[in-house]
């Protein structure tokens, strides 16, 4: 063997030995069962600590932290102080970043373990603190049950018997500000490095006043400051069904609140009343005649409301008079209802809210409207008959009478054409006059029974149409 070759062989052997030793050293370095030097967890210096010992101590420290006492105090004498643990308050230490680092150090491939140990030799791994908001809320509400047993009460608008507007203030209640409490808990929560100090941490319970949705301020912003109109109609004391129908319908609009621009729809009130109270038997108007039916009297409520609306200057959207005159208001000032045919609607065309109040006795129904009306403004309603329509004579064929004989059955009633105007005055001075309606009330014919050759039996009674129109009720006689 030549000298140069021997030299090369020796050099190669030495290099191989060095590489082998270096590989062994790296393997030993990456396979260590201790944490890297200068490694710390949330300020807790654990560099060089055996992995198993670290895991055991970490579990112990986390258990101590979860059991750490928090003294929560208040400045209110009637709200007691409470002491709860961090675990009860929903505190959770996030160990995901630490677990990832430990997995790289002790459970990955040899090469990755070497790399991780070198990278983490000066690492400071945090333990982020989070709060389980659901658990925190449940714990606090359980600890301060008396606090949460109290509920806020809304403010009330009170209308006095003298029609003045008063207010009952809302009742506020104390509630825990969970967002701030969660922030404070995360700020004061101790770390694994300071767990040796077991003295309770004092914390002030953050509270705020919870108001109900309806406050006096909310109510006053609606602008209702007094009564703007009132109207009453009377009815006979007899007729239990009619009284029930009037009272029930009036109750459905009691305390109805209308926003500016909102439209009142009487058909919805009828549907609500029928569903809630049901209507009883009382005479209704069918094709211009009074007949037995269900719901008689509902138009007395719409008529009373209509007159209050007229005298408050509100905008009438839809309204029609009865086919027959009614006894409780002047001609031209009634408002009938026929389901699917005739409705009563008006709009709150003011800038403030409108409140409807009703009073029903066994003899009368009253509607009062509350809102805002400029001082000095008044409205007057005037209806006048512009034409009287004489009742026609109708002959009914009666073969039981002697040939050519007649007999009076009923005396007819005149019909009318009526015009109604609304005048607006300011401090007694006329500023506007508007035509509200032109109404026609059909005459009721005089009926005479006769046995004459020019009367055909099939003529029957007048005003019988194929499509019955039912007014002032919800149901009439059965039709076959």
Model confidence pLDDT, tens digit, residues 171-184? 999 999 999 999 99
Residues 360 and 432 in one domain: yes
Phi and psi, residue 83, nearest 5°: -115, 120
Cα–Cα distances (Å) from 264 to 159, 250, 343, 344, 360, in that order, read 22, 14, 10, 8, 20
**Pair (351, 447) in one structural domain:** yes
Separation CA 366–CA 360 (nearest Å) = 6
Close Cβ partners of 350 (under 8 Å, ≥ 6 residues apart): 260, 314, 371, 372
Rounded to whole angstroms, the Cα distance separating 50 from 397 reads 121
Question: Is 460 a residue whose pLDDT tops 50?
Answer: no
How many CA atoms does the CB half-sphere of 43 hold within 13 Å? 7
Q: Mean pLDDT, to the nearest integer, of 286-311?
A: 89
Residue 457 pLDDT exceeds 60: no
In-domain check, residue 99 = yes
DSSP classification of residue 328: S
pLDDT at 429 over 90: yes
Instruction: Select the more confidently predicted residue: 28 or 130.
Output: 130
Q: How far apart are CA 369 and CA 182, in angstroms?
A: 50
Helix (H) or strand (E) holding 233: strand 226-234
Does the pLDDT value for residue 25 go beyond 50? yes
Residue 193 confidence (pLDDT): 84
Select the more confidently predicted residue: 288 or 354.
Answer: 354
Both 265 and 400 in a single domain?
yes
Residue 9 lies in a domain: no
pLDDT digits (tens, 9 = 90+) for 49-82: 999 999 999 999 999 999 999 999 998 989 999 9
Same domain, residue pair 321 and 183 = no
Among residues 55, 135, 128, the alpha carbon closest in space to that of 87 is found at 135
When pLDDT is averaged across residues 203-219 and rounded to a whole number, the result is 95
For residue 78, give both structure tokens. Answer: 């009637």
Q: Is 377 a member of any domain?
A: yes
- Between CA 157 and CA 242, with CA 356 as vertex, the angle to 5 degrees is 130
At residue 254, the pLDDT reads 96
Going by pLDDT thresholds of 50, 70 and 90, the confidence category of residue 461 is: very low
The pLDDT of residue 346 is above 50: yes
Q: Let me know whether 339 and 465 are in one domain.
A: yes
pLDDT at 23: 58
pLDDT > 90 in the chain, percent: 63
Task: Quote the pTM value.
Answer: 0.75
Question: Is 6 a domain residue?
Answer: no
- Whether the per-residue pLDDT at 153 is higher than 80: the answer is yes
* Paired sense of beta strands 201-204 and 69-73, if any: parallel
Q: Is 361 exposed, middle or buried (0-12, 13-18, 19+ CB in 10 A)?
A: middle
Other Cβ atoms less than 10 A from the Cβ of 420: the count is: 20
Structure tokens at 156: 């009330």
> Longest Cα pair distance anywhere in the chain, in angstroms?
167
**Is 1 contained in some domain?**
no
> Do residues 263 and 146 share a domain?
no
Same domain, 171 and 242: no
Structure confidence at residue 290 as a pLDDT band (50, 70, 90): confident
Does the pLDDT at position 401 exceed 90?
A: no
CA–CA dist 330, 98 (Å, integer): 89
Do 272 and 128 belong together in one domain? Answer: no
Pair (34, 117) in one structural domain:
yes
Query: What confidence score (pLDDT) does residue 289 get?
Result: 74
Taking only the tens place, the pLDDT of each residue in 246-273 is 999 999 999 999 999 999 999 999 999 9
* Closest among 442, 432, 433, 436 to 462, alpha carbons compared: 442
Which residue, 210, 245, 278, sits at the end of a domain? Answer: 210
Position 139 scores a pLDDT of: 96
| Pairwise CA distance, residues 342 & 264, whole Å | 14
465 and 405 belong to one structural domain: yes
Residue at 418 is within a domain? yes
Lowest mean pLDDT among 130-144, 185-199, 206-220, 429-443: 185-199
Domain's final residue, options 210, 239, 266 = 210
Helices (H), 253-348: 266-276, 298-310
pLDDT for the residue 18: 63
**Is 5 contained in some domain?**
no
Range of the domain at 325: 222-471
**pLDDT above 80 (res 468):** no
Of 145, 178, 210, the position where a domain reaches its end is: 210
Question: Residue 211: exposed, middle, or buried by beta-carbon count in 10 A (0-12, 13-18, 19+)?
Answer: middle
- What per-residue confidence (pLDDT) applies to 39? 92
Q: 464 falls in which pLDDT band (50, 70, 90)?
A: very low
CB contact at 8 A, 417 and 389:
yes
Position 462 scores a pLDDT of 47
Average pLDDT along the chain: 89
Q: Residue 171: how many CA atoms within 13 Å on its side-chain side?
A: 4
Examine residue 201 and state whether it is found in any structural domain, yes or no: yes
- Number of domain units in the chain: 2
59 & 90 share domain: yes
Closest Cα to residue 319, out of 297, 299, 290?
299
Same domain, 308 and 371: yes
């Amino acid at each position: 063997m030549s000298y140069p070759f021997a030299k090369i062989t020796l050099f190669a052997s030495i290099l191989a030995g060095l590489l082998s030793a270096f590989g062994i050293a790296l393997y030993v370095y990456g396979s260590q069962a201790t944490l890297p030097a200068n490694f710390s967890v949330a300020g807790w210096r654990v560099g060089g600590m055996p992995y198993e010992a670290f895991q055991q101590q970490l579990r112990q420290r986390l258990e101590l932290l979860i059991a750490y006492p928090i003294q929560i105090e208040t400045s209110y004498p009637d709200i007691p102080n409470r002491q709860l643990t961090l675990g009860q308050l929903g505190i959770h230490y996030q160990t995901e970043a630490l677990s990832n680092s430990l997995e790289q150090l002790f459970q990955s491939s040899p090469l990755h373990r070497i790399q991780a140990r070198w990278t983490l030799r000066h690492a400071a791994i945090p333990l982020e603190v989070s709060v389980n908001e659901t658990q925190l809320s449940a714990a606090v509400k359980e600890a301060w049950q008396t606090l949460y047993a109290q509920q806020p009460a809304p403010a009330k608008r009170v209308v006095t018997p003298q029609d003045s507007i008063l207010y009952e203030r809302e009742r506020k209640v104390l509630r825990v500000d969970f967002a701030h409490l969660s922030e404070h808990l995360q700020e004061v929560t101790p770390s694994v490095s300071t767990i040796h100090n077991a003295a309770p941490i004092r914390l002030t319970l953050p509270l705020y006043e919870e108001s109900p949705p309806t406050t006096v301020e909310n109510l006053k912003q609606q602008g209702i400051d007094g009564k703007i109109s009132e109207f009453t109609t009377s009815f006979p004391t007899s007729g239990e069904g009619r009284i029930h129908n009037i009272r029930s319908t009036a109750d459905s609009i009691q305390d109805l609140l209308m926003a500016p621009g909102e439209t009142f729809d009487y058909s919805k009130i009828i549907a609500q009343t029928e569903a809630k109270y049901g209507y009883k038997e009382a005479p209704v108007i069918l094709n211009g005649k009074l007949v037995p039916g269900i719901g008689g009297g509902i138009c007395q409520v719409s008529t009373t409301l209509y007159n209050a609306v007229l005298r408050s200057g509100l905008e009438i959207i839809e309204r029609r008079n009865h086919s027959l005159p009614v006894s409780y208001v002047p001609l031209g000032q009634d408002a009938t209802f026929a389901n699917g045919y005739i409705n009563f609607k008006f709009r709150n065309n003011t800038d403030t809210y409108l409140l409807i109040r009703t009073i029903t006795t066994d003899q009368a129904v009253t509607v009062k409207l509350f809102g805002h009306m400029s001082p000095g403004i008044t409205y007057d309603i005037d209806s006048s008959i512009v034409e009287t329509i004489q009742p026609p004579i109708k002959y009914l064929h009666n073969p039981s009478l002697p040939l050519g004989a007649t007999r009076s059955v009923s005396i007819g009633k005149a019909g009318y054409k009526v015009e109604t105007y609304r005048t607006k005055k300011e401090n007694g001075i006329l500023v506007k006059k508007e035509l509200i309606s032109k109404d026609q009330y059909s005459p009721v014919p005089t009926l005479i029974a006769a046995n004459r050759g020019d009367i055909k039996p099939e003529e029957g009674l007048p005003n019988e149409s194929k499509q019955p129109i039912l007014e002032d009720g919800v149901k009439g006689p059965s039709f076959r």
